[in-house]
Chain A
Amino acid sequence: MIAPIASHAGLTDTQGFVAAVVLGLFFGFFLERAGFANARKLAAVFYFYDMAVLKVMFSAIVTAAVGLWALGAVGVLDLSEIYLVPTHVVPQFVGGLILGVGFVVGGYCPGTSVTGMATGRLDAFAYSAGILGGLAVYGEIYPAIESFTQRTDLGEITFPDLLGIPRGILVALVVVGAGLAFVGAAKLEKAFASRRPRDLAPT
């Protein structure tokens, strides 16, 4: 095992920040190349005429999931040292529902609003101001909902742990599932092509 590098060889704060900027440069570049600085392109997934959000998201997840499994299997990367957000089933499900609503209303998610601002999208600036407002509000309402946020606590848990099935098999299932989703996405785009607003260039 040589990785994660931050916990094996160790990184100074400065080295970590330099790595963060470089990783961010590529992240933002690819997001913009995908068209994800554009709220219309993002919201289109909810109207089926352009499923790029689903395609990009799942090809990214598949790429990283396969890579993590492979690097772990050959003993280069220690997956147990990677930080996991603890699972709280109900609050995370409800949070996801709320976030989905915010996605349709606002047209961005926090990461894509940054790329939107970088390309001059005024709606991304308004959206980001909304995020700051929402975070301030959350700080105020948190005491009232604190017990709810702690419900159904499963701790740090992955599907390989939960189901007792090897990671490689589950990753293979994710790959197959993503492949089926891609086929379905192409069919939906065809079926709903007439919804594409006329001022958008066909792709």
Chain B
Amino acid sequence: MKGTSGRGPEAATAQPYWNPYLAGIGIGLVLLATFFIMGRGLGATGAFSALLVWVMSLFSTEYVTSNPIHSGYWNDGSPMMVFLVFLTIGSFTGAAISAALAGRSGWSIGRGPNISPLARLALAFVGGLVMAVGSKLAVGCTSGQALTGGSMLNVGSWTFMIAVFIGGYAVAPLFRRQWL
């Protein structure tokens, strides 16, 4: 297996990524098909919420059903039997297939040359934590709000999207060492 100790396939003999416009059109067509078939768009955070609720329920169903946020994902006792969980199973598999075909699979840590692997993993964890809170507050993430709501011309989604770029560019100088 290649890339076991490296920073990722960019240093190995992987195929180049697709033209971004081609990949974007592909994602747009998937989104359109999702609207057409399901009457809703894509999403990702909801699958994490479902997984969390399922795991929590193994310890205490009472905690889940009495919590104002988690109870919304209880789904009458079958939290994992929802659209977004199956979508995410698909996207995990699709990404794994794509990476395998392009020679981009293998254990690695995506980081710039000036940060240690451990520091990068710690920042990744913190970033996930922060992102989850933002995503709950905004009622959606890059998939559920920006892509889905953006293409529907949803007012809140465009408000959200502009804020994401403002927030990101505002703090980017502080995190240069992680990426550059």
How many B residues touch the partner, as a band? Answer: 35 or more
Q: Which of B109, B133, B147 contacts A138 (CB 8 A)?
A: B133
Do residues B110 and A99 form an inter-chain contact, with CB atoms below 8 A?
no
Do residues A123 and B112 form an inter-chain contact, with CB atoms below 8 A?
no
Contacts of A198 in B (CB 8 A): 113
B156 CB within 8 Å of chain A: yes
- Give the nearest-CB partner of A170 in chain B: B153
- Give the nearest-CB partner of A4 in chain B: B39
CA of A79 to CA of B40 in the docked complex: distance in angstroms?
Answer: 10
Further 5 A-B residue pairs, CB within 8 A, beyond A3-B39, A98-B134, A101-B168: A4-B35, A13-B81, A31-B23, A39-B124, A63-B151
A118 CB within 8 Å of chain B: yes
Do residues A25 and B138 form an inter-chain contact, with CB atoms below 8 A?
no
- A47 and B176 contact, Cβ closer than 8 Å, known pairs A63-B25, A131-B48: yes
CA of A6 to CA of B125 in the docked complex: distance in angstroms?
Answer: 37
A201 CB within 8 Å of chain B: yes
Please report the total number of A residues contacting B with Cβ < 8 Å: 134
- A107 and B36 contact, Cβ closer than 8 Å, known pairs A96-B161, A101-B134, A197-B113: no
Contact with A along B131-170 (1 / 0, CB 8 A): 1111111111111111111111111111111111111111
11 residue pairs bridging A and B, Cβ less than 8 Å apart = A57-B24, A57-B147, A64-B31, A83-B39, A99-B167, A109-B141, A111-B141, A118-B94, A120-B105, A122-B109, A159-B153
CA of A61 to CA of B152 in the docked complex: distance in angstroms?
Answer: 9
Do residues B30 and A27 form an inter-chain contact, with CB atoms below 8 A?
yes
Most B-side CB within 10 Å, residue of A22, A124, A139: A139
CA of A203 to CA of B8 in the docked complex: distance in angstroms?
Answer: 16
Contacts of A25 in B (CB 8 A): 90-91, 93-94, 97
Contacts of B175 in A (CB 8 A): 104-105
